[in-house]
Structure 1
Amino acid sequence: GHWSSIYHQYRYWRKTGKWQKLMKIITANYDSEWLFIDGSVVKAHQHSTGAASHLDEAIGKSVAGNSSKLHLVVDACGNPIHVELSGGQVHDSKMAKTLIDSTINNQTKAVIADRGYDSSDIRECIFTHCAQSVIPVKSNSKSCNDTLDWYLYRCRHLVENAFARLKHFRGIATRYDKLKDSYAA
């Protein structure tokens, strides 16, 4: 079809929330036994900044320049079930509570993440949902990793594989959209 017809239909779906409804339908029956969380930086194109809105458009300054960060929750089969966007300077642990609260349920047995999520607040959030925390402690921590389930931690490659699959798409690998809603859709 004509590019403007496609764009207007895409924009209509974005504004009415059809993309989010579609995502909820697709992820309705996810395997919630294990949940994997992680974040990945996406370089923002130089023309993606400067949107004419006063809202937070999830583009931040970091060492590498303008960037956004995708925070992803993946189920036990490696399928993405929840995505959050933030500026590139936002640390992964700042979005962890939002990710956990939005996806964890009473069937979840473990939440697996890397050392960037090593925080007593995050562990407490996981424990309040009656799930096991599989997060290794940082090297400068006084506690140890003796009780860590290393098999589950090795399965964390599922979230890395999901990022690798998503970043095959040009529109996700580099952020060209000025608006957060457009990029999220």
Structure 2
Amino acid sequence: MSRGGLTDAAWVRIEPLLPVVDGRGRPWRGHRQVIDGVLWRLRTGAPWRDVPARYGPWQTVYERFVRWEADGTWAALPEHVRVREDAVGRVDWSVSVDSTVVRAHRHAAGARGKGVAGGDEPGGVERAAAGPTHAGREGLGRSRGGLTTKLHLAVDGRGLPLSIVVTPGQAGDAPALDALLAGIRVPRLGPGRPRVRPTRLIADRAYSSRAIRARLRAAGVRVVIPERADQRANRRRRGPAGGRPPAFDREAYRERNVVERCFARLKQFRAIATRYDKLAARYTAGVVLASLILRLREPQP
């Protein structure tokens, strides 16, 4: 095992889930070697061309990363692990949500619009950054500090990701909440619908709104969100017409730190702490893979 690569125990858990090599055509590089190469790049943030030769040709490492992002292999791996954990009651459905701003390197700019040749594929022709509309579609926002991306997470009570959303850096937190909650989906091992609803949602004041509280209560989700000062002042100014203050559990709110700790663990991967990928789907795939590694590092019962 290389430093930062898959452990033997982690490899045993994910090997049956990987695409099977059919034996036709040229021999495939071993999956474990290639995944270790992807993890090396994710951990260091180095360009793909600098992936060490011990992981095989860099083109092979990159192309398999891209192929498995496109066919859903990366997304299926953490879902399978969550299914097994939920079946034995190890998924804590007290969900915390938050976001963090990620600085985008200049290499992240310049993604092509649909139908334009090139891009960040090997051999693509580099050019200046695309216009703001296309940059926004790729989860890039421009501010005085430069290009940024915002990473939104919904984590379970152990601080392990259940849903990931990427938006431009200037985007608000509350508008991304619906997409974040829609991404929570844990199928059952046996018959039955997938589990999609947390028992409790913990979030900071950025998510405080009557509409959000009403939707969550209607879905049977317990809400733990503090009221913003301006909302509290407006409610008091209106007197009886302002209604009662929303319920708030201070003790439960202390558990929100699990999402902050998850961001800190994910940002140990330098290609997540700084975005180098032009395409939002590629950056998201890296976050998904890092999230899988966090789950695989958890001690097994």
Shift of 1:108: 2.8
Query: Is 1:174 the equivalent of 2:274?
Result: yes
Count of residues paired in the alignment: 185
Quote the residue 1:159 is aligned against.
Answer: 259
Kept in 2: contact 1:43–1:174 (CA 8 A)? yes
Kept in 2: contact 1:60–1:87 (CA 8 A)? yes
Quote the residue 2:224 is aligned against.
Answer: 134
Kept in 1: contact 2:163–2:181 (CA 8 A)? no
SS state at 1:140 partner: helix
Q: Percent identity?
A: 35
User: Structure 1: which amino acid aligns with 2:146?
Assistant: G
Residues 124 and 42 of structure 1, relative CA distance in 2, 3 Å threshold: same
Kept in 2: contact 1:106–1:129 (CA 8 A)? no
Moved more, 141-150 or 22-31: 141-150
TM normalised by structure 1 equals: 0.92
1:42 corresponds, among 87, 97, 102, to: 102
SS state at 2:106 partner: coil
Moved more, 48-57 or 70-79: 48-57
Distance across 1 between alignment mates of 2:81 and 2:141: 30
Kept in 2: contact 1:72–1:84 (CA 8 A)? yes
Mind listing any 5+ residue stretches in structure 2 that lack a counterpart? Answer: 1-55, 115-133, 186-194, 236-243, 286-301
Quote the residue 2:111 is aligned against.
Answer: 51
Distance across 1 between alignment mates of 2:150 and 2:263: 12
Shift of 1:59: 0.6
Shift of 1:107: 6.3
TM normalised by structure 2 equals: 0.58
Point out the structure with the larger helix share. 2
Shift of 1:78: 1.1
2:164 corresponds, among 80, 83, 88, to: 83
1:67 corresponds, among 145, 148, 159, to: 148
Of structures 1 and 2, the one scoring higher in RCO (CA 8 A, sep 6+) is 1
Superimposed CA distance per residue, residues 98-122 of structure 1 (whole angstroms, 9 cap, x where no aligned partner): 2123328576321000010011121
Superimposed CA distance per residue, residues 57-86 of structure 1 (whole angstroms, 9 cap, x where no aligned partner): 111113421010110000011111110111
Query: Is 1:15 the equivalent of 2:70?
Result: yes
Quote the residue 2:204 is aligned against.
Answer: 114
User: Structure 1: which amino acid aligns with 2:272?
Assistant: I
